[in-house]
Amino acid sequence: MQIERFEIEGLLLIKPRVFEDNRGYFFESFNKQDFFAHAGLDLNFVQDNESMSNAGVLRGLHMQAPPHEQGKLVRVVQGKVLDVAVDIRKKSPTYGQYHSVILSGENKHQFYIPPGFAHGFAVLENKTVFCYKCTGYYNKESEFSIKWNDADIKIDWGIKIPILSEKDEKNSVSLNTFNSPF
């Protein structure tokens, strides 16, 4: 397992060791001990999620407020996404900045997004299966959504008119009107 860090502190890209043979492939998609040894994080995941989306779908930018905040370890089993994390930690020197990575069934990379980030992804291939582990349970009342096309964050999604949920279309707020709970 290899770990890459970025300018925005806390975000991690995990590149697992993949074993390939005549049957196909095998890899450990999560190992608590290894994660602690390599990243120094003793994560306690309580919920696993899976979604499927077609190309052009954009889910995000989502987060849950404390005490229901979530760290997320996200990956793609099949297909490809542009995955984005936006720093919304008020005291962070990189507040309002984002980092994006390509996650695909092919590269098998995983992105760890700690609490204090808004998260979203744009789907680049049909029938993309997206899986993630969360350190907190889903709590509808604590959910917030920031506009995918926020004028201050300026995310380069590579999609002009995405397919959004009704919730993301109607209930997302701009970063400049958002009072971050982090």
Ligand X SMILES: Cc1cn([C@H]2C[C@H](O)[C@@H](COP(=O)(O)OP(=O)(O)O[C@H]3O[C@@H](C)C(=O)[C@@H](O)[C@H]3O)O2)c(=O)[nH]c1=O
Residues binding ligand X (CB under 6 A): 49, 51, 59-60, 62, 72, 119-121, 138, 165, 167
| Single-letter residue type at 163 | I
59 vs 75, beta carbon nearer ligand X? 59
- Catalytic residue from among 95, 132, 137, 138: 132
Q: How far is the CB of 24 from ligand X (least distance, A)?
A: 28
Q: How far is the CB of 125 from ligand X (least distance, A)?
A: 17
The DSSP string of 69-114 is ---EEEEEEESEEEEEEEE--TT-TTTT-EEEEEEETTT--EEEE-
The rounded distance, in Å, linking the Cα atoms of 4 and 181 is 27
- Residue 62 annotated in active site: yes
Q: How far is the CB of 166 from ligand X (least distance, A)?
A: 9
The rounded distance, in Å, linking the Cα atoms of 178 and 81 is 26
112 vs 121, beta carbon nearer ligand X? 121
- Residue 132 annotated in active site: yes
34 vs 78, beta carbon nearer ligand X? 78
The answer to whether 85 touches 111, Cβ cutoff 8 Å, is yes
What DSSP designation does 146 have?
B
Q: Closest residue to ligand X, Cβ-based? A: 138
Known catalytic residues are 62, 132
